Amino acid sequence: MTITEEIQSLKKEKNAVILAHYYVAPEVQEIADYVGDSYYLSKAAAETGAQVIVFCGVSFMGESAKALNPEKTVLMPDGKADCPMAHMADEETIRRMREKYEDLAVVCYINSTAELKRLSDVCVTSANAVKIVKALPNRNIFFIPDRNLAHFIAKQAPEKNFIYNEGYCPTHERMQTEEIKKAKKEHPDALVLSHPECAGAVLELSDYVGSTSGIIKFATKSSGKEFIICTEEGVAHELKQKNPEKKFYFTDTLPVCPDMKLVTLEKVLHVLKTGENEVHMETELGEETRRPLERMLELAR
């Protein structure tokens, strides 16, 4: 049996479903039942009838899946795959902001630990953040942890007063305007499509800004033939599959998220066989984490 066949047969035997983010390796995306951005995957996790969820992504994704499905088994192929940005906010600052501002909503990017989510009013992903922030009754918005996404949303919601937090994604922040300008010189007809986790200067050079699935949709619908993609290189797999005739370029310093790349087929097989790396969450933490996640699913509908 090949490794893929073994995974497929264990999946049936254990009533398991495999979820994969666009940033994991192509061969892992290939064996998944659901491949998508953070919003799509959180909906898939909330709706699945399977007993076991294997989450090919980083720990905040597994935690969110567990919070939404306390009675299910959530397995992480690599228990050390973690998003550094998920830790870039702190409880003390959230408490201070709540004291300082009346009418405050703490809006938490889904790329955050369960401990941060439980202190927040609502979660968002890059695909639904503008819609949700605009729908909130509060004028004051403390957005954690990502400053770049916060600035991007604030521009589209001028009626809100944004308070920023200094978190960022190291993989997206590494993308420099110089390299994008160089790529544009080499491919003058290419459109620049960027993720809002990129720095503001990069977004200003962009023809489109959106989540990973937004980028894929834009490139697929566009009459353009060439694109410079400013997000993690894993999206290239879906982009090429959907658009075999189009060309996709990245910056010379290839944007690679080291944590997403910890997920391998061998590790998927291993956790399916052994049940290792199960996500455990105390009941109270799970319930408090579920609340802002469910509010997100409700408001994004």
For residues 31 and 17, what is the distance between their CA atoms, to the nearest angstrom?
A: 10
Taking CA atoms, 91 is separated from 11, 78, 115, in Å, by: 39, 27, 8
Q: Shortest Cβ distance from residue 91 to ligand SF4 (Å)?
A: 20
Q: Shortest Cβ distance from residue 209 to ligand SF4 (Å)?
A: 15
Rule CB under 6 A: say whether 37 interacts with ligand 13P: yes
Q: Which of 52, 58, 229, 296 binds ligand SF4 (CB under 6 A)?
A: 58
In the list ligand 13P, ligand SF4, none, the entry touching 122 (Cβ below 5 to 8 angstroms by class) is none
Rule CB under 6 A: say whether 259 interacts with ligand 13P: no
The closest of 119, 4, 103, 70 to 286, measured between CA atoms, is 70
Applying CB under 6 A, the span of 37-45, 67-75, 151-159, 281-289 interacting with ligand 13P comes to 37-45
Applying CB under 6 A, the span of 6-14, 44-52, 150-158, 252-260 interacting with ligand SF4 comes to 252-260
Rule CB under 6 A: say whether 259 interacts with ligand SF4: yes
Applying CB under 6 A, the span of 32-40, 89-97, 152-160, 263-271 interacting with ligand 13P comes to 32-40
Applying CB under 6 A, the span of 63-71, 81-89, 100-108, 118-126 interacting with ligand SF4 comes to 81-89
Size of the chain, expressed as the number of residues it contains: 301
| Pairs from 277-283 (Cβ < 8 Å, separation ≥ 24) | 277/75, 277/76, 277/77, 277/78, 277/79, 278/73, 278/74, 278/75, 279/55, 279/59, 279/62, 279/63, 279/65, 279/66, 279/74, 279/75, 279/76, 280/66, 281/63, 281/66, 281/67, 281/70, 281/114, 283/70
CB nearer ligand 13P, residue 126 or residue 138? 126
CB nearer ligand 13P, residue 40 or residue 142? 40
Q: Residues 28, 53: contact at Cβ < 8 Å?
A: no
Rule CB under 6 A: say whether 38 interacts with ligand 13P: yes
Q: Shortest Cβ distance from residue 105 to ligand 13P (Å)?
A: 20
Rule CB under 6 A: say whether 190 interacts with ligand 13P: no
**Interacting residues of 226 by C-beta distance below 8 A, sequence separation 6+:** 187, 189, 190, 191, 246, 247, 248, 249
CB nearer ligand SF4, residue 78 or residue 197? 197
Residues 152-181 that bind ligand SF4 (CB under 6 A): 169-172
Residues 222-241 that bind ligand SF4 (CB under 6 A): 232
Rule CB under 6 A: say whether 126 interacts with ligand 13P: yes
Q: Shortest Cβ distance from residue 237 to ligand 13P (Å)?
A: 14
Write down the number of H helices and E strands in the chain: 15, 12
The closest of 60, 119, 63 to 93, measured between CA atoms, is 119
User: Residue 231 in 3-state DSSP?
Assistant: coil
The closest of 279, 240, 234 to 54, measured between CA atoms, is 279
Binding site for ligand SF4 (CB under 6 A): 23, 58, 83-85, 111, 169-172, 197, 232, 257, 259-260
Binding site for ligand 13P (CB under 6 A): 37-39, 83, 111, 125-127, 169, 197, 211-212
